[in-house]
Amino acid sequence: MRGLLRGILLAAIFGLPAMAQDPSEGERVFQNRCAMCHGPDANGAGPMAPVLLLQPVDLTHLRRDNDGEFPLQRVIWRIDGRDPLVSHGSPMPVYGDFFEGRDVSLKTSSGQPIVTSQPIVDLVAWLQSIQQ
């Protein structure tokens, strides 16, 4: 988390370049880190879903459920833990060191920069590609 805060400060002062997104790498990340709860098709029907207090959301409808706009900031913040979601008595898994690393920046549709890591950038690219 300290690296993330440092990245936000650096982005605010110097600006960070937007990085290329790799949806195929994002899908690999999803299958290895997220599919147990959200399901291999990201529809919320993973094998762990029945034991969770709050059911995983269908990630293929994020754009539809947000008036046609992909909620980029909210998705990034849920993944990296800045917007915690409690399910099964504890926060959604935050993979700490896995999502640490080189800070990169994405911009929302309004132009607001969001600092995050390359694995999250790739994961978000894949999530955007599967919207129905």
- How far, in Å, CA of 90 to CA of 81, rounded? 12
CA-nearest of 63, 100, 61, 95 to 79 is 95
The CA-based angle 13-79-100, given to 5 degrees, is 55
CATH fold of 2-129: Cytochrome Bc1 Complex; Chain D, domain 2 (1.10.760)
Q: Taking each helix axis from N to C terminus, what angle separates 23-33 and 118-129, rounded to the nearest 10 degrees?
A: 100
CB contact set of 69 (below 8 Å; sequence gap of 6+)? 63, 109
46: tokens are: 């993973």
Which of 48-52, 55-59, 91-95, 119-123 shows the lowest per-residue confidence on average (mean pLDDT)?
91-95
Residues 26-51 have pLDDT tens digits of: 999 999 999 999 999 999 999 999 98
96: tokens are: 């700490």
101 pLDDT higher than 70: no
- How far, in Å, CA of 21 to CA of 125, rounded? 6
For the entire predicted model, the pTM comes to 0.78
Pairwise pLDDT comparison (14 vs 53), residue with the higher score: 53
Residue spans of the domains in the chain: they are 2-129
* Neighbour count for residue 62 (Cβ, 10 Å): 21
- Give the model's confidence band at 66: pLDDT under 50 very low, under 70 low, under 90 confident, else very high: very high
Helix (H, G, I), strand (E, B) or coil at 15: coil
Pairwise pLDDT comparison (13 vs 86), residue with the higher score: 86
Pairwise pLDDT comparison (30 vs 101), residue with the higher score: 30
Helix (H, G, I), strand (E, B) or coil at 18: strand
| Structure confidence at residue 84 (pLDDT) | 72
CB contact set of 126 (below 8 Å; sequence gap of 6+)? 23, 24, 25, 26, 27, 29, 30
Q: By percentage, how much of the chain surpasses pLDDT 90?
A: 46
